[in-house]
């Protein structure tokens, strides 16, 4: 998620789960090759397992980024074919590329040939007026010919001509059954469901016939959802850190950052951490005042020390 899953958010996510696979923001190849590479380079080994999520439509540019990434400790590289934003559409990448499977094949082939990482794709069920009962299997079959076998499937269509990105996350109906059918049709592929997932425990059972689940907005707005990922999905011990400990760890982390913009983003990412607490509003106000954020730490810790109760 652009402007969301940056290095600061990923540090927060790792306070809650050591096992969940994290994604970078979608980063366009031009930003890496010709712009500020900080988003590309800015991660630590502690954030792994970590997927580099790319946007782009130029096989040569994608191959160059893959060569660069061979020197960086990413676990996987994902080509985003699902983002529906007008800006992304105007650049002919994201979900718009699903209309050009031959170009997608060229892009993925170039990536595979120049990378020592696993290559995956993130897709929608289809775009615009496509009949997903016909077009989806055809698209996946063509893409699988490249050797890509991991598909993160947002269980909605993308309506590129009429809906905003927000509407594209809400108005096209979720169709998990179509994702399940895709797995039945392509048993050797890894099919991971995405879209509208909010409960880890329920989803483990609901999608037991698939190869995994991917959570986006809910993990950002309510990071504590990640707190039992390790035990439920990976049969490992949860980290079981208290909110006080996580808060202290985040402020200690901010002390290591050199750029004010990084600290500001990190403070914003923490807002959802306190959702449902009786003092959540006060804590969000404290986090929003960057000029006094070090003083805010002590007040937030004090609020957490007081036997807070969660809002029902």
269-309 pLDDT, tens digit per residue, is 999 999 999 999 999 999 998 888 788 899 999 999 875 54
Which of 211, 234, 257 lies at the terminal end of a domain, its last residue? 234
* pLDDT for res 308: 52
Q: Which helix (H) or strand (E) holds 122?
A: strand 118-127
CB atoms within 10 A of CB 164: 13
Give the confidence band of 44 by pLDDT, cuts at 50, 70, 90. confident
Helices H / strands E in the chain, number of each = 16, 7
| Domain assignment present for 1 | no
Do 81 and 219 sit in the same domain of this protein? yes
Do 257 and 216 sit in the same domain of this protein? no
Helix 132-144 with 176-185: angle, nearest 10 deg: 50
Strands 22-28 and 190-194, by their bridges, are unpaired
More confident residue, 16 or 293: 16
Per the listing, tokens 């992304």 go with 88
| Domain assignment present for 96 | yes
Per the listing, tokens 């718009």 go with 96
Do 178 and 115 sit in the same domain of this protein? yes
Write down the catalytic residue from 27, 83, 200, 225: 83
In this prediction, residues 177-184 reach a mean pLDDT of 98
Residue 170 tokens, joined: 């809400």
* pLDDT for res 184: 98
Give me the number of domains the chain comprises. Answer: 2
Do 12 and 132 sit in the same domain of this protein? yes
At 105, give phi and psi (nearest 5°): -60, -45
How far apart CA 110 and CA 112 sit, in angstroms, is: 6
Any residues with CB less than 8 A from the CB of 38 and at least 6 apart, and which? Answer: none
* pLDDT for res 312: 33
| Domain assignment present for 311 | no
Do 154 and 270 sit in the same domain of this protein? no
Do 29 and 176 sit in the same domain of this protein? yes
Which of 187, 204, 234 lies at the terminal end of a domain, its last residue? 234
What pairs with residue 122 in β-bridges?
A: 80, 152
For the full predicted model, state whether its pTM sits above 0.85. Answer: yes
| Domain assignment present for 104 | yes
Asked if pLDDT for residue 116 goes beyond 70, the answer is yes
Do 216 and 248 sit in the same domain of this protein? no
Which of 177, 204, 234 lies at the terminal end of a domain, its last residue? 234
Do 252 and 198 sit in the same domain of this protein? no
Asked if pLDDT for residue 232 goes beyond 80, the answer is yes
Closest CA to 204 of 236, 239, 228, 186: 228
At 149, give phi and psi (nearest 5°): -130, 10
Do 185 and 122 sit in the same domain of this protein? yes
How far apart CA 188 and CA 265 sit, in angstroms, is: 40
Q: Using CB atoms within 10 Å of the CB of residue 188, give its burial: 0 to 12 exposed, 13 to 18 middle, 19+ buried.
A: exposed
More confident residue, 116 or 290: 116
How far apart CA 199 and CA 211 sit, in angstroms, is: 17
What is the overall mean pLDDT for the chain? Answer: 92
Domain ranges, residue 298: 243-305
| Domain assignment present for 97 | yes
Closest CA to 217 of 154, 160, 148: 154
Give the confidence band of 49 by pLDDT, cuts at 50, 70, 90. very high
Task: Give the CATH number of the domain where residue 150 resides.
Answer: 3.20.20.70
Q: Which helix (H) or strand (E) holds 128?
A: none
More confident residue, 289 or 89: 289
| Domain assignment present for 193 | yes
Do 226 and 277 sit in the same domain of this protein? no
| Domain assignment present for 310 | no
In this prediction, residues 84-95 reach a mean pLDDT of 81
Longest dimension (CA), the chain: 59
Do 145 and 61 sit in the same domain of this protein? yes
SS3 assignment, position 135: helix
Active-site annotation holds for 83: yes
| Domain assignment present for 213 | yes
Any residues with CB less than 8 A from the CB of 230 and at least 6 apart, and which? Answer: 17, 18, 19, 20, 236, 237, 238, 239
Do 204 and 134 sit in the same domain of this protein? yes
Closest CA to 244 of 299, 290, 165, 196: 299
Residue 47 tokens, joined: 């954030």
């Amino acid at each position: 998620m652009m402007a969301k899953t940056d290095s600061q958010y990923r540090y927060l996510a790792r306070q809650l789960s050591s096992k969940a696979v994290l994604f970078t923001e979608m980063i366009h190849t031009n930003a890496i090759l010709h712009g500020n590479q900080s988003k590309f380079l800015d991660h630590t080994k502690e954030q792994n397992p970590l997927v580099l999520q790319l946007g782009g439509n130029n096989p040569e540019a994608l191959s160059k980024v893959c060569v660069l990434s061979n020197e960086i400790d990413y676990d996987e590289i994902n080509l985003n074919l699902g983002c529906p934003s007008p800006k992304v559409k105007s650049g002919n990448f994201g979900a718009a590329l699903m209309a050009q499977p031959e170009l997608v094949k060229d892009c993925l082939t170039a990536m595979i040939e120049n990378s020592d990482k696993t290559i995956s794709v993130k897709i929608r069920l289809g775009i615009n007026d496509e009949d997903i009962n016909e077009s989806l299997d055809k698209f996946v079959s063509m893409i699988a010919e490249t050797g890509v076998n991991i598909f993160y499937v947002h269980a909605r269509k993308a309506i590129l001509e009429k809906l905003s990105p927000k509407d594209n996350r809400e108005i096209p109906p979720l169709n998990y059954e179509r994702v399940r059918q895709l797995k039945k049709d392509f048993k050797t592929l890894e099919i991971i469901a995405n879209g509208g997932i909010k409960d880890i425990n329920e989803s483990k059972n609901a999608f037991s016939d698939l190869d995994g689940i991917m959570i986006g907005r809910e993990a950002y707005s309510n990071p504590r959802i990640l707190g039992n990922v390790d035990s439920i999905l990976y049969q490992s011990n949860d980290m079981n850190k208290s909110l006080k400990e996580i808060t202290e760890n985040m402020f200690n982390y901010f002390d290591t950052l050199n750029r004010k913009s990084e600290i500001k983003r990190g403070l914003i990412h923490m807002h959802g951490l306190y959702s449902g607490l009786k003092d959540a509003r006060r804590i969000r106000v404290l986090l929003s005042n960057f000029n006094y954020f070090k003083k805010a730490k002590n007040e937030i810790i004090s609020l957490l020390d007081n036997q807070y109760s969660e809002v029902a």
